[in-house]
Amino acid sequence: MEREEIPLLTGEPPRIFPPEEHPIRIADIDRDALKILYRLRDAGFSGFLVGGGVRDLYLGKRPKDFDIGTTARPGQLRRIFRNSRTIGRRFRLVQVYFRGGKIIEVSTLRSLSEYDIEGDETEVLPQNNTFGSLEEDAFRRDLTINSLFFEIENSTIIDYVGGVEDLKQGIVRVIGEPERRFLRDPVRMLRALRHAARNNFSIETNTWQAIILQRDKLTLCPSSRIRDELLRDLRGGASRNWLRLALDSGIFFVLLPCYAELARSEDWPAITEELQDLLGVCDRLHGLPLREEESIQIPDAMLFALLLLPWLRRRCDLEQAVAGAARAEMLQQLRHDLEGVLGERFNLKAMVRDEMSSMLGNLPLLVQHDQTQPWPGWLRRKSYFRDCQRFLRLWQEARGGEVVPAAVFIVTRKVEYVPLAVLEAPLPASPLAPATSESRNDRRGDGRPGRPAYSPLSGGVFGLRRR
């Protein structure tokens, strides 16, 4: 179902969906998130479940995070929730801590940046730090399906942008003019692909065309942001779907231009099938049901190695270089290629690239010894031997071999019961009092309680100012 693109800040009232018109129930919401919402209400503020949590609950999924938006400012939130801390330099969020190490983020409603309204067409959007209304917060978000609010008083969904209808239709749509929004923040293109892949949604025509037109703008983004977004896609349990969309849109070749030449070869169908099989193993592992304290953790180096394996197999002739001069030459070429492909584009640390070199460079040796003879003693003593083994098992499953047990990648989070009061403590006397801004004197290090320590050495240490 197509409709015109959504203008920013229409001024029209939102559509309100009562409980009988949506599937979300109070019982579906995390208990600690509810505590925060009720505490905000009791303190005289409005609080809403926002963004992806509402989207996932509507689709019948268990949200990974329950984020909350509120009219309270960060300073007021810190006085309401004693077990909290403020993070962020430009836009400040408050993290509320609960037993077991759980963290729920609470943010003040934000407004549209002036760049989204009247900025230069060639400028990438800077992070904005302006508080706003519920409507402004809805329209500053990237996709309609991520711009919904759930309020607990009447169990209603508040929808300014038609997000509920897009959820029903299975459509990913950008708020506002797609080309302009992607130019302001090109990473939004990756998020559009991610949500379409994870939910088996289609991407609205104007949004899809804008992705194809603006895809090269991803090179303007900080490499660390691109790296983190790509890792989220590989760990999301839908990387096979993501690969299909990334290939169709051309974003795959913007992220990994090393594959561009292979895409013109006769071997390309086999390469894409190999990529699908490798990512399919990751999807299977990330989709396994686990206990709350457990998670599947495939290391960053291993995920990138899987993504580059089909290319490197053909470039470095991995299968033939097992020993001697051929192996030494292959390892040298491998390290050089990894530094060129990943060093600048994804800002991967040298340690991660070294781990990838170990896994990829030792793969033919591992295959040979796994089939014919015991592992060499020198290899067993290496610190990277375990990761090389795990990488081998992933590769073998992708080729139709034995299924990798989940226990190989399961990490159990240590449950720590932090003795911090959440809701039991009484409210401050005046939670509605305006937050005082931080002054320069608050950071001068004068030795009073709650102030940072200072160094007695001349010039100070780590940027802390000397008295």
Give catalytic residues, as residue numbers.
Answer: 65, 67, 142
Residue 72 tokens read as 């309270």
H/E stretch holding 193 reads helix 187-199
Dihedral class, residue 451 (left if φ above 0, else alpha if ψ from -120 to 50, else beta) = beta
Nearest CA to 146 among 128, 129, 132, 160? 160
CB 190 within 8 A of CB 233: yes
CB 146 within 8 A of CB 51: yes
For helices 324-338 and 350-372, angle between their N-to-C axes, nearest 10 degrees: 150
Task: Report, in angstroms and rounded to the nearest whole number, the Rg of the chain calculated over CA atoms.
Answer: 25
Cα separations in angstroms, 209 against 120, 191, 226, 275: 22, 15, 21, 25
H/E stretch holding 324 reads helix 324-338
Phi, psi of 378 (to 5 degrees): -65, -35
Nearest CA to 184 among 128, 252, 246? 128
Q: What is the DSSP string of 308-323?
A: HHHHHHHHHTTTT--S
